[in-house]
Structure 1
Amino acid sequence: MIAEVDQALGELVREIPGIPKDVDVVFDAPTKDWAARRNAPTVNLYLYDIREDLRRRERGFVETRNENGIVVTRAPGPRFFKLSYLVTAWTQRPEDEHRLLDGLLRALLPFDALPAELMTGSLAEMGRPVAVTIALPPPEDRAFADVWSSLGGELKPSLDVVVTVPMATGVVFEAGPPVTAGVQAEFSDLLEAGVTEDRGQRVPEGEPT
């Protein structure tokens, strides 16, 4: 699932108008050592956080039916995971980095979800949209300064791109055989015993009802 999102984001960035073709698109951790080795204009998409979106948990089961419309399996609904990417631009001059970030922001802002043509593998199999948000405030329990501190680098202008991905749990239950017989009821024993249908009282033989 993560590999498919990486591929889709990478292709999306590479196809952005105004992004030079000689700009590298990578997913490395932007540490000091990495920055020192970089020798070409680069857009870095660093995956720094993965967490489940508990607000989107679904109850109930998803049913699978055969060609006759009979339920054959039931599975819990998918879980939704938020993949957070720290997007940075790396060039020799800050002005060029700002232009790259501006182009990325303008190009990604119209997308509420990954384009269908970029969804492959498990993303395509789920048949659900993969939501994308950009430059939203981070949760209260997470700050970009903490991310940079963990990487051992200096704070740098960046965009926060969050992709919310549905993922199957892998749990599947086989459905039982369908019920083919209807409900039947017999009243012969009650009628032979002289019980009326409307009152449910026994009527002695020979007396009018």
Structure 2
Amino acid sequence: MIGEIDEALRSLVKASDGIAADIDIALDAPTKDWAARRNAPTVDLFLYDIREDVRRREFGFIESRDERGVVVSRAPAPRYFKLSYLVTAWTQRPDDEHRLLDALLRCFLRFDAIPDGFVVDTLAETGLPCSITIAQPPPEDRAFADVWSSLGGELKPSLDVVVTAPLSRAIAYHVGPPVTAGVGASFEAMGFGSEDARFEPASDED
């Protein structure tokens, strides 16, 4: 899942009209050492946090049906995970970085979810969308300044892009074939008037 989302975001940026084709796209942590080695205009998509979206956790099963509409298997509902990316622009001049960030902002605002053409492999297993949010306030337990402090770099303008993706639990329970024949039963009545239950009066000899 994570690798597919990395490639989907990279492809999304490359396909954007406002971003030059010769700009490098990296997935590295933007540390001081990395910034010092950078020698070309770069967009960095750094994955810095992964956590489950527990508000969307579902219980129960999802049914799979064949072409006749018959249930053939049941699987647990997928879990949703939020992947947070620190998106930064790196050039020689701050105004160029701001223009590049503007293009990135417009790029991600175009989509509420990763387009179907970029949803492949494990992302496509559930058939559910991978939503995208951008520049939302961070959770109370996380601040962007803390992220930069952990990286040992200097604070600079950035975009927070969060992809919420469903992940199949790879568990399926197969269902047996439906019952097609009815259950039959036969009963033999016993009572007055039947040969097996005749009433005979007692003889005088008894």
- TM-score category, normalised to shorter length: 0.7 to 0.9
Offset at 1:86? 0.2
What residue is the counterpart of 2:122 in the other structure? 122
Cα displacement (A) at 1:154: 1.1
Instruction: Report how far residue 188 of structure 1 moved.
Output: 6.3
Separation in structure 1 between the aligned mates of residue 170 and residue 29 of structure 2, nearest angstrom: 30
What is the rounded CA distance, in whole Å, between the counterparts of 1:151 and 1:82 in structure 2? 21
Query: Normalising by the residue count of structure 2, what TM-score does the alignment of the two structures yield?
Result: 0.86
**Computing the radius of gyration over CA atoms, which structure comes out larger, 1 or 2?**
2
Q: Deviations over 1:140-193 (max 9, x none)?
A: 01111111111111111100000011110011112234233446677865xx56
State how 1:126-141 maps to structure 2 within 5 Å.
126-141=126-141
- Between 16-25 and 27-36, the greater mean CA deviation after superposition: 16-25
Gap regions ≥5 residues in structure 2 = 193-206
Confirm or deny that 1:143 pairs with 2:139: no
Unaligned runs of 5+ in 1: 195-209
AA aligned to 1:71 is V
Distance 1:185 1:53 in 2: 54
User: Matched residue of 1:29: which SS?
Assistant: coil
**Equivalent position SS for 1:103:** helix
Take 1:69 and 1:111, find their aligned partners in 2: how far apart are those partners? 33
- TM-score, length-normalised on structure 1? 0.85
Q: What is the CA-CA distance between 1:20 and the residue it aligns to?
A: 1.6
Is 1:173 matched up with 2:164?
Answer: no
Counterparts of 1:160 and 1:96 in 2: how far apart (Å)? Answer: 19
Does the C-alpha gap of structure 1 residues 59 and 183 become closer, same or farther in structure 2, counting only changes over 3 Å?
farther
Match of 2:195 in 1: none
Q: How many pairs are equivalent?
A: 193
- State the percentage of identical aligned residues: 67
Write out aligned runs for 1:1-209 (5 A).
Answer: 1-182=1-182, 189=189
Amino acid at match of 1:81: F
Partner of 2:136, secondary structure, is coil
Q: Which amino acid in structure 1 is aligned with residue 180 of structure 2?
A: T
What displacement does 1:67 show? 4.0
Superposition RMSD on alpha carbons, in Å?
Answer: 2.0
